[in-house]
């Protein structure tokens, strides 16, 4: 329980003050350590969001009652701890063993090299597929092509709706935002008026700040040659989805960022989790026994030469050994559980996305009928449950580009990707291979969007789609400490088909 006096003391050491409207009554029932952690997180988030020129000491001097209430709420929803206690494996009868597996994995054609021609095709393909989604919007008739503005000699003052790929975004001298949209027939210059100049309605200017390069958006606005004065941005986001009803009662466990071979891989915890799955530990054999599938979203091994001086952090310097370590562990997964393993940016396969599955040199003679080596990303259907799994390398550029996003809440960045119908919209943010078909477009809305990469757990439901980040099994690296990141290792999200809910099983 948090004590006001003690809290004031501890915070003052951190140069943080509590506003006078915070009372002891508000703190009753809140775990002090969790609250402190939240406040520090908030402070580091605020610091990371302000430009470097700002004085970090000046950030967030006061924590008010509103902040405390918000944090208390977050703490309450996060805490679904599942204590795992060691006990005998008596009478473990996994229900999932009785369920017949029915799964399919999408297979995309993956290119290893691209030509200039492919580049143009790639972006045209992105545009036309996302435009198709926007065209289904009720009550909006988008122009078929940007050239129609001139061809039809539309007059200024006319209301129009257009779709294009963002090729440029700049701040104008008058403090407005100008975005250039492009398609294969032409361009359109769209102006987003600054709030002061345009005070009457919505926050179009704030919305425009969220536009990123190379994404496909729809714009409604008034023609004012040669510009379009925007009054609405239409993102291709999913329409509200109602939860599927499942006949079978099964669960899916989500993992990512195991980083075998790293000194910081939390092997004991991982092995403990595997034992738990075998029903050998814990009171939660009812949770464990329902697990029918495991999806692993990349960075399964730590790799070698991924960042400068990585060898200092490695326990296993041989790349093949890092993978045999992984496969040895996966060998312990009960046969009735099907496991899908994909690579991430640390893994030994082509770095550019989409990434092909591991090849024979990595897999060697490891063969098990329940372990499936797949591409990154993969659209996986599991007894009717659609999971779109992607490592999440693009989250770095998304968090850096869209205001208000932070590493402590990866789910918010994931939602931005879902809204844009693209797993990696910002070209150049990470390595993408521009194939003639853009394989990173999200044209099918999944039931669950799963990513890793950030090493921090996150969970949200956006318009009926579950968005989950499965964190990591690696403890905090020196690099992350310097960056002010807060990994949440060994917390495994498990989704159940009957309850349509996640349980976070804590192995930390």
Residues that bind Zn ion in the complex, under the rule CB under 5 A: 299, 344-345, 453
DSSP state of 101: P
By C-beta, is 211 or 417 nearer to Zn ion?
417
By C-beta, is 420 or 453 nearer to Zn ion?
453
Q: How far is the CB of 269 from Zn ion (least distance, A)?
A: 19
**Contact between 299 and Fe ion (CB under 5 A)?**
yes
**Stretch of residues binding Fe ion (CB under 5 A), selected from 22-30, 232-240, 287-295, 297-305:** 297-305
Q: What angle do CA 405, 410, 414 make, to 5 degrees?
A: 90
Between the CA of residue 146 and those of 163, 182, 186, 261, what are the distances in Å? Answer: 8, 8, 5, 52
Residue 104 near residue 379, CB atoms below 8 Å: no
By C-beta, is 122 or 259 nearer to Zn ion?
259
Residue 126 touches which member of Fe ion, Zn ion, none, C-beta under 5-8 Å by kind: none
Integer Cα distance of 219 and 87 in angstroms: 60
Q: How far is the CB of 301 from Fe ion (least distance, A)?
A: 10
Q: How far is the CB of 215 from Fe ion (least distance, A)?
A: 25
Between the CA of residue 63 and those of 19, 26, 56, 171, what are the distances in Å? Answer: 6, 13, 16, 33
Backbone angles phi, psi at 255, to 5 degrees: -130, 160
**Contact between 313 and Fe ion (CB under 5 A)?**
no
Q: Nearest residue to Zn ion, using CB? A: 453
Residue 345 touches which member of Fe ion, Zn ion, none, C-beta under 5-8 Å by kind: Zn ion
Q: How far is the CB of 346 from Fe ion (least distance, A)?
A: 6
Integer Cα distance of 482 and 474 in angstroms: 16
Integer Cα distance of 141 and 144 in angstroms: 9
Residue 215 touches which member of Fe ion, Zn ion, none, C-beta under 5-8 Å by kind: none
By C-beta, is 390 or 427 nearer to Zn ion?
390
**Stretch of residues binding Fe ion (CB under 5 A), selected from 172-180, 208-216, 292-300, 405-413:** 292-300
Query: CB neighbours of 156 closer than 8 A, spacing ≥ 6?
Result: 223, 224, 225
By C-beta, is 279 or 429 nearer to Zn ion?
429
Q: How far is the CB of 305 from Zn ion (least distance, A)?
A: 15
Instruction: Copy the structure tokens of residue 31.
Output: 């775990």
Q: How far is the CB of 375 from Fe ion (least distance, A)?
A: 18
Q: How far is the CB of 237 from Fe ion (least distance, A)?
A: 27
Instruction: Copy the structure tokens of residue 32.
Output: 């002090």
Region 254-273 residues binding Fe ion, contact defined as CB under 5 A: 257
By C-beta, is 176 or 457 nearer to Zn ion?
457
Integer Cα distance of 504 and 493 in angstroms: 4
By C-beta, is 59 or 299 nearer to Fe ion?
299
DSSP labels, 228-239 = EEEEEEE--PPP
Residue 413 near residue 82, CB atoms below 8 Å: no
**Orientation angle between helical segments 319-330 and 267-277, nearest 10 degrees:** 30
Closest CA to 252 of 357, 337, 373: 337
**Stretch of residues binding Fe ion (CB under 5 A), selected from 47-55, 295-303, 420-428, 460-468:** 295-303
By C-beta, is 215 or 302 nearer to Fe ion?
302
By C-beta, is 39 or 297 nearer to Fe ion?
297
Integer Cα distance of 240 and 340 in angstroms: 28
If DSSP codes are grouped into helix, strand and coil, which group holds residue 178?
Answer: strand
Instruction: Copy the structure tokens of residue 21.
Output: 């409207």
**Contact between 411 and Fe ion (CB under 5 A)?**
no
Q: How far is the CB of 136 from Zn ion (least distance, A)?
A: 34
Residues that bind Fe ion (CB under 5 A): 257, 299
């Amino acid at each position: 329980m948090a004590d006001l006096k003690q809290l004031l003391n501890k915070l003052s050491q951190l140069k943080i003050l509590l506003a006078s409207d915070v009372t002891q009554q508000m703190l009753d029932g809140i775990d002090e350590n969790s609250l402190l952690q939240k406040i520090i997180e908030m402070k580091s988030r605020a610091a990371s969001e302000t430009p470097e020129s700002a004085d970090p000491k000046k950030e967030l001097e006061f924590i008010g009652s509103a902040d405390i209430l918000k944090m208390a709420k977050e703490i309450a929803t996060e805490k679904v701890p599942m204590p795992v206690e060691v006990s005998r494996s008596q009478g473990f009868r996994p229900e999932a063993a009785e369920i017949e597996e029915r799964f399919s994995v999408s297979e995309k054609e993956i290119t290893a090299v691209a030509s200039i021609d492919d580049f143009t095709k790639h972006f045209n393909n992105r545009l036309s597929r996302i435009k198709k989604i926007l065209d289904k919007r009720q009550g909006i008739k988008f122009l078929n092509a940007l050239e129609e503005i001139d061809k039809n000699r539309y007059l200024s003052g006319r209301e129009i709706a257009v779709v294009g790929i963002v090729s440029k975004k700049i701040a104008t001298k008058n403090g407005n935002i100008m975005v250039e949209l492009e398609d294969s027939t032409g361009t359109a210059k769209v102006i987003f008026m600054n709030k002061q100049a345009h005070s009457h309605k919505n926050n179009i200017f704030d919305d425009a700040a969220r536009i990123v390069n190379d994404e496909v958006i729809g714009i409604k606005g008034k023609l004012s040659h040669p510009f379009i004065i925007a009054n609405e941005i239409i993102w291709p986001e999913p329409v509200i989805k109602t939860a599927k009803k499942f006949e079978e009662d099964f669960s899916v466990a989500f993992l990512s960022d195991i980083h075998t071979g790293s000194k910081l891989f939390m092997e004991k915890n991982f092995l403990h989790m595997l034992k738990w799955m075998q029903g050998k530990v814990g009171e939660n054999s009812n949770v464990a026994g329902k697990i029918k599938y495991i999806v692993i979203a990349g960075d399964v091994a730590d790799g070698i030469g991924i960042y400068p001086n990585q060898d200092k952090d490695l326990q296993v310097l041989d790349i093949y050994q890092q993978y045999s370590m992984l496969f040895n562990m996966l060998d312990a997964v009960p046969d009735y559980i099907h496991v899908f393993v994909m690579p991430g940016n640390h893994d030994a396969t082509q770095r550019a996305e989409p990434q092909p599955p591991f090849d024979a040199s990595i897999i060697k003679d490891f063969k098990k009928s329940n372990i499936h080596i797949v591409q990154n990303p993969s659209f996986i259907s599991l007894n009717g449950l659609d999971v779109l799994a992607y490592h999440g390398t693009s989250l770095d550029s998304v968090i850096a580009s869209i205001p208000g996003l932070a590493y402590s809440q990866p789910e918010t960045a994931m939602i931005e990707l879902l809204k844009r119908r693209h797993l990696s919209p910002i070209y150049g943010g990470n390595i993408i291979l521009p194939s003639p078909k853009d394989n990173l477009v999200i044209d099918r809305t999944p039931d669950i969007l799963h990513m890793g990469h950030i090493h921090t757990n996150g969970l949200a439901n956006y318009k009926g789609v579950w968005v989950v980040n499965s964190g990591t099994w690696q403890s905090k690296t020196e690099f992350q400490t310097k960056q002010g990141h807060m990994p949440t290792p060994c917390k495994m999200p498990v989704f159940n088909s009957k309850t349509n809910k996640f349980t976070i099983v804590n192995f930390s």
